[in-house]
Structure 1
């Protein structure tokens, strides 16, 4: 299903309210996707398309997300926005009746904000041309040139590329990769269970985790490399069954796609909890443990440098 562009303002406010009034952009998007705020689905929030002009993948929702954050700021619903800082609701954002959002006054404030923004962008373009800098071609769905760069300071751009690369792994390579990641997370992998093809009850890995108090737990691992299909309740139920057979205290289920709400509910039932790692969480863990990646530092000028006195 093709994502239809629309405002994410109400969804953002609902997510922030659940988090107590503030949270990172990443946390906001995850809550919107997981809880379906204002009708958004996992696919809406995280799916990507390929630009016919640049040939690069991008997430259409991110444009709406960035626009909506700025609209909320202009409407007085969130505090001033800064890169790398949490988004925080104002008192108005905490108490405002969303059924009446936006008012005429808020519409006027938003329009004024974008009028000033357009002036700033025009000056940026003029300075860029005068210094013979290369300009970035807009993608098919872009409406302002800086929105793609605002994807959490290009964080989502490289993670989209990373996840797409992982989705092209063979099933065997993805299993090996998942075991490598879990090893980095502190699990000592068993060399036979989940590696050999018989007697492992369908597991993709099995290991042992020692906590700080020297308590060792048995960990079962399952991984599914999917492109678009979600992991459902039945797959989690089957995995829990395998955990019982191997006497695992808890499990880790890794996928390149998403888990359905029913799957998430099943994962925390009973006495064998399952930690769910979807595609977004997978790229976060790869970043955390620097697994087969290396950081590159770059900088982007704030609007301050282009504003008139």
Structure 2
């Protein structure tokens, strides 16, 4: 990655604050991404660009922007899936220069923290104009890599197990190219009185191989008259056009599960993963106690 692109995520600081203000000072990550894209009229070439995990580069950079704004007290640090402006954030106006100042400040704080913790090691990871490319752990990348290493049939079977563990009943793999691209079916019971027939499709894709709008449309056509809900599961991601097609008004909605959401589902039901707790020191919290 060229040096100039190392901290390009700082360009989202201002748009992120603007998006949250538009949403009433808080929003779910997907709402924030969509609002930024709408406000800036971002082209598909930006929205479809992916990292090695198959996740969206745009989403990853906005998530990094959010992390720095949390450290600087502009966003709340809640871990409950909602991004919320603080009082400071509601009134903040961030220029490109200010964004870089915030970035450099927290780079220096974390560099000093690491230096104190491991004085014998060089801190190359947090030099000026640099940041880890992906806001995901090695464990997440390992799981994505493992899923991509499965055979196509093996991936369908593990998705079947995941759906069963997630509350679906009567889950079975249909198989065969003659079934209109449908890999399996199941039933989702909402309560004793309401249930939905669900069809699913599994795409074990490598990074950069995104599910297209046409593939979403073909899947929807195959499920019409056969089920109320459809799910496409992939180890990669979806083009922006595919996401729009999946949520098109007047057409049956297709649920999209990309690599990030897929990992979350495995972790939620603890399928094929072992839970462990790791705690890292948060320097921002302790900085205010250093003086006085």
Pick one of 18, 24, 32 that aligns with 1:20: 24
Uncovered stretches (5+) of structure 1, i.e. residues with no partner: 50-58, 130-134
Partner of 1:164: 145
Residue 224 of structure 2 is aligned to residue 244 of structure 1:
yes
Give the Cα separation in 2 of the matches to 1:221 and 1:183. 13
Partner of 2:127: 143
Partner of 2:240: 261
Where 1:43 maps in the other structure, the secondary structure is: coil
Deviates more, 1:7-16 or 1:260-269: 7-16
**How do 1:106-185 and structure 2 match up within 5 A?**
118-126=111-119, 129=120, 138=124, 142-143=126-127, 151=135, 156-185=137-166
TM-score by length of 2: 0.73
Partner of 1:229: 209
Is the 1:184–1:289 Cα contact (8 Å) retained in structure 2? Answer: yes
Pick one of 265, 268, 274 that aligns with 1:285: 265
CA shift at 1:290, angstroms?
0.9
Uncovered stretches (5+) of structure 2, i.e. residues with no partner: none
Partner of 2:5: 4
Is the 1:22–1:86 Cα contact (8 Å) retained in structure 2? Answer: yes
Partner of 1:31: 33
CA shift at 1:161, angstroms?
1.8
CA shift at 1:276, angstroms?
0.9
Partner of 1:207: 186
**How do 1:96-115 and structure 2 match up within 5 A?**
96=92, 100=95, 102=97
Paired residues in the alignment total: 275
Pick one of 266, 281, 288 that aligns with 1:301: 281
Where 2:231 maps in the other structure, the secondary structure is: strand
Residue 172 of structure 2 is aligned to residue 187 of structure 1:
no
TM-score by length of 1: 0.69
The CA RMSD over aligned residues, in Å, is 4.2
CA shift at 1:37, angstroms?
7.2
Partner of 2:68: 70
Partner of 1:132: none
Deviation string for 1:145-192 (max 9, x for gaps)? x965x95xxx6332122112212221111111111112222222354x
Change (3 A) 1:260 1:85: closer
Give the Cα separation in 2 of the matches to 1:198 and 1:85. 38
Change (3 A) 1:158 1:11: farther
Give the Cα separation in 1 of the matches to 2:149 and 2:177. 26
Is the 2:168–2:186 Cα contact (8 Å) retained in structure 1? Answer: yes
